Amino acid sequence: MSMLPPLRSADRPRRPVGLLTTGFAVLVAALTLQPASNTRAGSPRRTAVVDVVERVRGAVVNIHSERTVKGPATEELFALAPSQNRINGMGTGILIDPRGYIVTNQHVVDDVNVIRIRLADGSTYTGQVIARDQESDLALLKIDADHLLPTMPLGTVKDLMVGETVIAIGNAYGYEHTVTVGVVSALKRDVTLNKEISYKSLIQTDASINPGNSGGPLLNIDGQMIGVNVAIRAGAQGISFAIPVDTMIQVVSDMMSVRKRAGLTHGLIYHNKLSTAPATRDGQSDGLVRSLVVDRVEPNGPAAHAGFEPGDVIVRAADVRVAGSLDLERAFLGHPAGERIPVIVRRNKTEQRLELVLESAERESPGTADTIWQKLGVRLRPVGRDAVVHASAQLQGGLAIVEINPDGVAAKAGVQRGDILIGLHQWKTQTLDNVLFVLTHRDLPTFNPLAFYIIRNGQVHRGWMQQVE
pLDDT digits (tens, 9 = 90+) for 350-390: 999 999 999 887 655 567 888 999 999 999 988 877 788 77
Domain end among 233, 255, 277: 255
Closest-CA residue to 117 (of 79, 83, 145, 139): 145
Q: Are residues 215 and 146 in the same domain?
A: yes
Contacts of 214 (CB under 8 A, 6+ apart): 21, 22, 23, 24, 25, 91, 92, 104, 105, 107, 108, 170, 229, 230, 231
Q: Are residues 331 and 410 in the same domain?
A: no
The span from the first CA to the last CA of the chain, in angstroms, equals: 21
Q: Are residues 225 and 149 in the same domain?
A: yes
Closest-CA residue to 456 (of 388, 385, 404): 388
Pairwise CA distance, residues 1 & 384, whole Å: 17
Helix (H, G, I), strand (E, B) or coil at 316: strand
pLDDT at 105: 94
Dihedral, CA of residue 201, residue 242, residue 320 and residue 323, to nearest 10: -40
Q: Are residues 100 and 248 in the same domain?
A: yes
pLDDT > 50? residue 159: yes
Q: Are residues 352 and 395 in the same domain?
A: no
Confidence band for 37, pLDDT divided at 50, 70 and 90: low
User: How far is the CA of 380 from the CAs of 262, 311, 372, in angstroms?
Assistant: 14, 37, 9
Domain end among 360, 389, 406: 360
Pairwise CA distance, residues 289 & 278, whole Å: 9
Q: Is residue 305 part of a domain?
A: yes
Q: Are residues 29 and 125 in the same domain?
A: yes
pLDDT at 425: 87
Span 44-83, pLDDT tens digits: 899 999 999 999 999 999 999 887 665 554 444 333 444 4
Pairwise CA distance, residues 456 & 340, whole Å: 30
- pTM of the predicted model, to two decimals? 0.70
Q: How do 264-265 and 240-244 pair as beta strands?
A: unpaired
Q: Is residue 2 part of a domain?
A: no
**What CATH number is attached to the domain comprising 279?**
2.30.42.10
Q: Is residue 76 part of a domain?
A: no
Contacts of 442 (CB under 8 A, 6+ apart): none
Q: Are residues 65 and 202 in the same domain?
A: yes
Residue-averaged pLDDT of the chain:
83
Q: Are residues 236 and 280 in the same domain?
A: no
Catalytic residue ranges = 107, 137, 214
Span 189-207, pLDDT tens digits: 999 877 777 899 999 999 9
Domain containing 450: what range?
Answer: 368-465
Q: Are residues 383 and 300 in the same domain?
A: no
User: How far is the CA of 353 from the CAs of 272, 317, 318, 357, in angstroms?
Assistant: 21, 10, 11, 13
Q: Which amino acid is at 318?
A: A
pLDDT > 60? residue 407: yes
Helix (H, G, I), strand (E, B) or coil at 186: strand
Pairwise CA distance, residues 228 & 91, whole Å: 12
Q: Are residues 372 and 356 in the same domain?
A: no
Burial of 256 (0-12, 13-18, 19+ CB in 10 A): buried
pLDDT > 90? residue 284: no
Average pLDDT over residues 341-348: 97
What is the number of structural domains in the chain?
3
The answer to whether the beta carbons of residues 297 and 308 sit under 8 Å apart is yes
Burial of 459 (0-12, 13-18, 19+ CB in 10 A): exposed
Average pLDDT over residues 234-244: 89
Confidence band for 20, pLDDT divided at 50, 70 and 90: very low
Q: Are residues 226 and 133 in the same domain?
A: yes
Q: Which amino acid is at 439?
A: L
Q: Which of 89 and 403 is assigned the larger pLDDT?
A: 403
* Phi, psi angle pair for 305, to nearest 5°: -65, -30
Q: Are residues 139 and 210 in the same domain?
A: yes
